[in-house]
A and B are shown apart, each in its own frame.
Chain A
Amino acid sequence: MENASEKLKGIYTRLFANKYYIFLFGFIIITLPSLIRGFYLHGQESYFYYRISDFIINNGIPNYDFLSFGGRAFLYNLGSSLFLVLTNLLGIGLNNLLVFLPLVFGFLSLILFYNILKFFKFSNNILSFACYILILSPAFLYTFTQFTSFTVPLFLNLLGFFLITRKKIIFHYLAFVVYLILPMFRFVHILFGLLILLFYFYKIEKLKKFLPYSAIILLTIYLNNLFVGFGLDIIPHSFYELFFDFGGTYGLSIFLLFLAFFGLTKLWAEKYKHLFYYLFFVLSILIIALNIKYLIYFNLILCILAALGLRHIYQLKWSSKLIRNLTVMLLIIGVLFSGLSFLIENSKKDVDDNLYDALMFLKSRTSPRGVIFSHEKYGIYINTISQRKNFIDFNYAYAPRLDLRLFYLDKIYYSRDLTKVLDIFKEFRVSHILITPEMKDGLVWNTNNNGLLFLLKNNPDNFNLIYNNNGYEIWGIS
């Protein structure tokens, strides 16, 4: 009986650690949201990149964006958009690229991650645990279940590093090309590239080999900075944004952190043998403090540490096997829970039919010169679907009169002073207001008579309701 159980356990472990099962699992999880919602654009970033890339394809790189923030200088990081434009030359279609590219890159990134770990001779258990944990991490899912600013650079970083670890020189040349492209993206991606290369050449090869790579990266950073003008990307963020479970969009799973903590204690058992790893770890935390986007990369490191931690917990001498098994189970459930929560929460961010109809109404019935006032969450959709100017969207960097807009936004939402609100609308050439049920249900207001809602209802001479469908309202300003 015991033999049979051992045999079954062996088969199960082999299946669990089999790379094809890992890849299949990864593929299913990454494609699951698209399978459920259909293969459409999803999330604000996808729509943003669609608009920008489409514009570049038709008109080249402009100096001015007429739609965002009512009109602004065209100062966007062009890495992802240019990548889309160039890939589009294959004739796939921009829409298809934005839908399928994240899935393909996600799948490939998983394979690359697996092979990189294999190169470092991690045991099969650690390797498979790390991959499963990565697949279920909100940061990875955020990057590859929709097109985001991380989709291409994360893949490129993994590809570049994977190529470096190959023995043939041709792969090293290819890696060179990849690192040449990387600086077109934000500084944080380059920084990770540099750090991981430094780590590799210091630990595995000779440090002097690092110089040509660092030189080419630094040179392209300089050129990129010269033309685009993006600095070191220091972006302030709240502490809770670091954790998905506490409301961060692509934050870390708190249970991943717990597991990683155990992984660190395992490393610490050998004290200063892993000094370089600790340095890398501490440096990563410092970078996150400056730029939250680095979480996407920190997540990779934590997944490896978490896998180490999980094995460490399992291998510790426990006085009660029951408690050991329950603890391991709890931690795995915690990681699973974060992944599933992400998939559920993210599925709610689709543009539903009612919003789409309202946006199409704006497109057909409003003047292209007018600015549409709504919540920041709908800014990109107003630009892309309605093809109209928005008052505000998520692209804060280099936005015109940003502080003033944010100040006025609050005033407009909650003020009952008609003259003041009309003055602001006039100043920013706002012609229409889009109000959604979500805005009335806590996103902006909590009662039907709050601030702007009160003004809209009680001033028919100034505001007229031109569209009302299932709680989606469009008000014209006269």
Chain B
Amino acid sequence: MKNKYLKILFIIFFLSLFFNLYLSFSSPYLNNDKSYFNLRVIDNIKSTGLPIFYDNLSYGGRYLLIQPLFYYIFTILSFIPLCFKIFPALLISSLVIINYFIAKEITNDERSSLFTALLSGFIPIYSKVLINQFSVYNLVLPLIAFMILCFIKLENKKYLKWFILGSFLLPLVHSSSFLFLFILLFYILLMNAEDLKLTRLKKETLIFSFFLIFLINILFFKKAFLQYGFSVAYGNNPLNYTFDVFQIIYLLGIIPLILGIFGLYQGFFKLKKEPIILISSMILGVLFLLLFNIITFEIGLLFLSFGLVISSSPAIKNLFIYLDKTKASHLKKSITVLFVLLFVVLSLIPTYTGYEKEFVELSDFEWIKENSNRNDVILTYLDHGHLVTYFNERQNFIDDNFLLAPDPHERLNDVNLIYSGWSYNKALEILHEYSVDYIYINEDVKKFYNIDDLEYIQDGECIREVKRNIYKVVC
């Protein structure tokens, strides 16, 4: 019996892996320019043994804060062909297995745990944030999920050791470990509020991991803290996020959203189970960080979706228990099929259709590399910043590494003025101020700024089109 469920679990895992790999290999390029920044760091480790601490190509030269573990792991793996496509896909799919075991701890029910695993393999937000991306979140999310599983099973010494190891590794991977601190804080608050007693071991482990994660982060972010103070929490981020309720529902997936909320309600008010309180803490932690604009909208949704999927498990279990009690109990198989169908329509298809190949044609960057000087500055819009440094090996004007970057707010404003402004003189003033040599404008940029071309291009001679999509500043 157990084998049967394990087999189904592995089928779901392989389905998810195949799905992720299929989408990843549908494009020769990785999605999200940040993937290329990560590749640059790995190239740097390969050649110097160290990550990039000072990036002389980003923003014309700036310091970087890098938590190195992710990069070192992938530097080791990089000798395996196609590793930047395969391993991220494997990591996303590993969530299927981890979430299955978490759900099993909550529900102690194979069927609902398997449905939870199925849901966690195909969430629409993955196609925006994880699939075909070489992103640190590919490692962070499974790691946090694994730590949650270990925390739930902490009384077992084996899991205690794993949790301690995870607490040590997580802050070495990414600053999302701060999110984990928030989860722990909310967890203690909720446990107290619900008058549930934490075991001594759990209390001790919480205290220990809190200090460990805090200390390692302080060590990494010392420079940033000294420069920005508490504002470091905002990461010097100049972007403002707008919330679109329908987009949120779409990205989270309708099934995890409805069942998740239902499961949270049941788990929190009726079952009062410790694991569900832990998951509620996670959701509260993410909502708190989102509310104060401390994490980006998409990353917030990614963690939120994870929490909702897990909290769906008691709802799924109760749904089947309820069915057993009704006259429709003989329709259980049909309802299972219906559930799978609903999953295909509301989770699988939106995840598939939500995936877009971000970079289709990057030959312009090859041209710039061949035709520009080594010290030239290339102005692109924010989402192409890392492509300039990776493909052109030239200085970019702006990219999304905002922390410790010089004046990202002003630069973002200036980029917007260059692309969507009307004044030739103003544009030239900005271009001269930053010594910009080339402007890159492709169809994505035009679509983003809702323009046909640079509006002021006819007003002077100093900005000339040297190739389609590329302008040169000649005087």
Chains A and B are bound partners: yes
The residues of A with any CB-CB pair to B shorter than 8 Å are 238-241, 245-247, 254-255, 258, 317-320, 323-324, 326-327, 330-331, 333-334, 337, 341, 345, 442, 446-450, 454
Of chain A, the residue at the smallest CB distance from B228 is A247
Q: Are B211 and A319 in contact (CB under 8 A)?
A: no
Q: Are A324 and B204 in contact (CB under 8 A)?
A: yes
Which residues of chain A are near B164, meaning CB under 8 Å? 323, 326
- B203-254 interface (Cβ within 8 A of A): 204-205, 207-208, 211-212, 214-215, 218-219, 222, 225-230, 232
Given contacts A246-B225, A246-B229, A323-B204, 10 further A-B contacts (CB under 8 A): A240-B229, A240-B230, A241-B229, A247-B225, A247-B227, A319-B201, A324-B204, A327-B211, A334-B211, A447-B60
Which residues of chain B are near A341, meaning CB under 8 Å? 222
Check if B461 is an interface residue, CB within 8 A of chain A: no
At the interface, is chain A mostly helix, strand, loop or mixed? helix
Which residues of chain B are near A246, meaning CB under 8 Å? 225-226, 229-230, 232
Of chain B, the residue at the smallest CB distance from A449 is B433
Which residues of chain B are near A324, meaning CB under 8 Å? 204
Q: How far, in whole Å, are A320 and B202 apart by their CA atoms in the complex?
A: 10
A183 to chain B, nearest CB (A): 34
Which residues of chain B are near A333, meaning CB under 8 Å? 215
B151 to chain A, nearest CB (A): 13
Q: How far, in whole Å, are A246 and B218 apart by their CA atoms in the complex?
A: 9
B395 to chain A, nearest CB (A): 11
Check if B435 is an interface residue, CB within 8 A of chain A: yes
Of the candidates B204, B226, B232, B406, the one whose C-beta lies within 8 Å of that of A318 is B204
Q: Are A323 and B211 in contact (CB under 8 A)?
A: no
Q: Are A327 and B208 in contact (CB under 8 A)?
A: yes
Can you pick out 5 interface pairs between chain A and chain B where the beta carbons lie within 8 Å of each other? Answer: A318-B204, A327-B204, A330-B208, A334-B218, A446-B406
Q: How far, in whole Å, are A432 and B172 apart by their CA atoms in the complex?
A: 48
Of chain A, the residue at the smallest CB distance from B212 is A330
Q: Which 4 A-B pairs have the closest CB atoms?
A: A446-B406, A240-B229, A247-B229, A330-B211
Check if B434 is an interface residue, CB within 8 A of chain A: yes
Q: A331-B211, A449-B435 are in contact. Are A247 and B204 (CB under 8 A)?
A: no
A75 to chain B, nearest CB (A): 30
Of chain B, the residue at the smallest CB distance from A238 is B229
Of chain B, the residue at the smallest CB distance from A450 is B433
Q: Are B435 and A337 in contact (CB under 8 A)?
A: no
Q: How far, in whole Å, are A374 and B66 apart by their CA atoms in the complex?
A: 34
Q: How far, in whole Å, are A108 and B233 apart by their CA atoms in the complex?
A: 40
Check if B160 is an interface residue, CB within 8 A of chain A: yes
Which residues of chain B are near A247, meaning CB under 8 Å? 225-229
Q: Are A454 and B407 in contact (CB under 8 A)?
A: no
Q: A246-B230, A446-B406 are in contact. Are A454 and B433 (CB under 8 A)?
A: yes
B145 to chain A, nearest CB (A): 23
Which residues of chain A are near B407, meaning CB under 8 Å? 446
- B128-174 interface (Cβ within 8 A of A): 160, 164
Q: How far, in whole Å, are A450 and B410 apart by their CA atoms in the complex?
A: 12
Q: Are B406 and A319 in contact (CB under 8 A)?
A: no
